[in-house]
Amino acid sequence: MQYKAYTIANFRNLPQASSLSEEQLRDIEIVGSVFPFRVNNYVADRLIDWSRVPEDPMFIATFPQKEMLVPKDYRAMAQLFQTGADRDAIHNAANQIRLRLNPHPAGQQEYNTPIFEGKHLNGVQHKYRQTILLFPQHGQNCHAFCTFCFRWPQFTGLEELKIASSANHDISAYIAKHPEITDVLITGGDPLIMKTRMLEKYIEPLLSPELSNIRAIRIGTRTLTYWPYRFLTDDDSGELLKLFQRIRKSGKHLAFMAQFNHPVELETDEVREAIAKIQDAGAIIRTQSPLLRHINADPHIWAEMWQKQVSLNCIPYYMFIARNTGAQHYFSVPLVEAWQIYKQAYQSVSGLCRTVRGPSMSCLPGKIQVTGVHDVCGEKVIGLQMLQGRNPDWVRRPFFAEYDGNATWYTDLKPAFGEKGFFFTEELEQILDPGEFETGFE
C-alpha cells in the first residue's frame, strides 16, 4: 500500500474528514497546534470505525481531542484562531502551554544521560543497570502519532526538548566499558520509521564480538499497529527481516517490543501477516500498553487483548499507567482503579497471559507497580513495589502509601503509617544530587 500521511496541514483532505462537523475539524486544528498530530491511510481506513466517531477508541488515540487542553488553554488557543492570529503568535502560545505540560517526565534528560570520557552521551539513557536506551536521530518520528504519547515533545518544534543520537563509536565504547549492560533498547519515536540501511548503522556495531556483554537487542516500535506494510510490502521490508535474522544468527535475543492499546489493532489481515513474518525471522514479540481513559480503561478490553496476543504467539509484558506529562488529565485513570482493572483482567485469563506486569508507573525512582489495596492494623493503604529501580536493591521491596482513590501518579501519594518518606526517598535525593548531601556523611 502507498503510504499517505495526514498532519495538521492537510488533514482536511483525508476522505473520511468529510464525516466530521466543522466544529470537530476546528477543534482538531486548535488542539493539533499544541500536541503533535499525524495519521495515515492505514489507520484511517482499517483501524478507525468512522461510524463510531467521536467515541471510537482508535479515533481518540490518533486525533487530537478538545478535552486534551484544559479549558483555559483551549479558550486561549481558540481565541487566537478566531481572531486570525498569525502563525508566530499561535506557535508562541502553543510553546508556552507545552512547557507547562512537563515535557520530560521522570527527569530523563537531567538524570538518565550517561557521561562518557567527560561528555554527555546524547540520545542515550542509562537508568537501570542492565539496559540502555538508544534514541537514533533518524528514528524520532512515527508512522502516526498517539494523542497520549509521553514522548510528544520529540515531535514538536521544540528542538531543545529532543533526545537524539547519531550512530557513533562512543556508544559502543561506553557499552564495552560497562559489562553490566546486557540489553540495548532502540527506541524513539519509532526506530522502524528508518530505512533498514539506516537502522543497520545502529544495530551492526552492537553485534560485534567486542560487545559480547549484549545479550538482547530490543526494538521499541508501534509500526505493527500503524504501518504493518513495513514488514510486508515496503521497498526494504525484506532487508529488514534479514537484519532481524542476522541479529538472531549472532546469538542474541531479538525482542520486538510492540505496543497494542486495543484489540482492534490485532485484527487486520495485515497485522497478522506482519506478526508471522517477524516471528519467522526469529524475533520474540512482547507487548505493552498504557491504560488509557476513553481508549482501553476496561478489564474486558485488556483480557481480550492479552488472549489475542497469546493466540498470535506474542507475550504480554507491561501494563503502564499514563505518565504525568502532556494531556495526562484526559487519559489518566486513578491508581486504585488501574489496579482493579489489571486484577479483574488478570483473573479472567489463563497463566499464559499472566506474564504481563502492572499497572506500573515509569517515574523518577524506577518502575513502581501498584500491588493492591490493604487494611493494615486498621489503616487503609495502597501496596506498591518497584519492578525496576535506579538502585537495583529497591526492586521488589514492598512499601505502602496512604489510601487515596483519586491519586493518578506516585507523586500524589503520601507514605502510610505517618512515615516522613518512602524507604527510598532519602537515597533517591542523594543519587540525584550527591553534592548536597556530602557533608551529611562526614
Ligand X SMILES: *Cc1c(COP(=O)(O)O)cnc(C)c1O
Binding site for ligand X (CB under 6 A): 112, 125, 127-128, 131, 133, 185, 362, 367, 388
Distance (Å, whole) CA 176 – CA 112: 18
Please name the amino acid found at residue 248.
R
Query: In this complex, which beta carbon is closest to ligand X, that of residue 150 or of residue 331?
Result: 150
- CB of residue 82 vs ligand X: minimum separation in angstroms? 41
Residue 6 CB, shortest distance to ligand X, in Å, is: 31
* Cβ proximity to ligand X, 129 vs 272, nearer residue: 129
Q: In the complex, what is the shortest distance from the CB of residue 361 to ligand X, in angstroms, rounded to a whole number?
A: 10
Q: Say if residue 162 is exposed, middle or buried (CB neighbours under 10 Å; 0-12, 13-18, 19+).
A: buried
The sign of the CA dihedral 48, 54, 57, 62 is: positive
Reported as half-sphere exposure (CB side, CA atoms, 13 A), residue 164 has a value of 17
| Cα–Cα dist 298/240, whole Å | 36
Smallest distance, ligand X to C-beta of residue 131, A? 4
Number of Cβ within 10 Å of residue 115's Cβ equals 10
From CA 156, how far away is CA 397, in angstroms rounded? 38
Give me the least distance between CB of 367 and ligand X, in Å please.
6
| Cα within 13 Å of Cα(348), Cβ side | 16
Q: How far is the C-alpha of 64 from the C-alpha of 411, rounded, in Å?
A: 27
Closest approach, Cβ 127 to ligand X, in A, equals: 4
What's the CA gap between 317 and 358, in Å, rounded? 9
Residue closer to ligand X by CB (options 116, 403) is 116
CB of 431 to ligand X, least distance (A): 14
Question: Over the Cα atoms of the chain, what is R_g?
Answer: 22
* Phi, psi of 215, deg, nearest 5: -105, -25
Given the complex with ligand X, which of 299 and 365 has the nearer CB atom?
Answer: 365
Smallest distance from ligand X to CB 284, Å: 13
Q: Toward ligand X, which CB reaches closer, 74 or 256? A: 256
Dig out the grid coordinates for 366 from the structure. Answer: 524506577
Residue closer to ligand X by CB (options 130, 168) is 130
> What is the tally of helices (H) and strands (E) in the chain?
16, 15
Measure the CA–CA gap between 68 and 103, rounded to whole angstroms: 15
What whole-number distance in Å separates Cα of residue 41 and Cα of residue 72? 33
Element (H, E) at 35: none
How far, in Å, CA of 61 to CA of 47, rounded? Answer: 11
Encode burial over 421-435: b for 16+ CB neighbours within 10 A, e otherwise.
ebebeebbeeeeeee
By beta carbon distance, the residue nearest ligand X is 127
Question: For ligand X, which is the closer residue by CB, 95 or 182?
Answer: 182
Q: Closest separation between CB of residue 362 and ligand X, Å? A: 4
CB nearer to ligand X: pick between 54 and 392:
392
Q: What sign for the dihedral angle of Cα 390, 391, 394, 399? A: negative
d(CA 148, CA 91): 21
Residues listed for the chain = 442
Q: Which CB sits closer to ligand X, 128 or 145?
A: 128
Strands 315-321 and 284-291: parallel
Q: Closest separation between CB of residue 97 and ligand X, Å?
A: 26
Q: Which is nearer to ligand X, 60 or 185 (CB)?
A: 185
Indicate the residue among 17 and 284 with the shorter CB distance to ligand X.
284
The beta-strand segments (E) located in 161-238 are: 183-186, 216-221
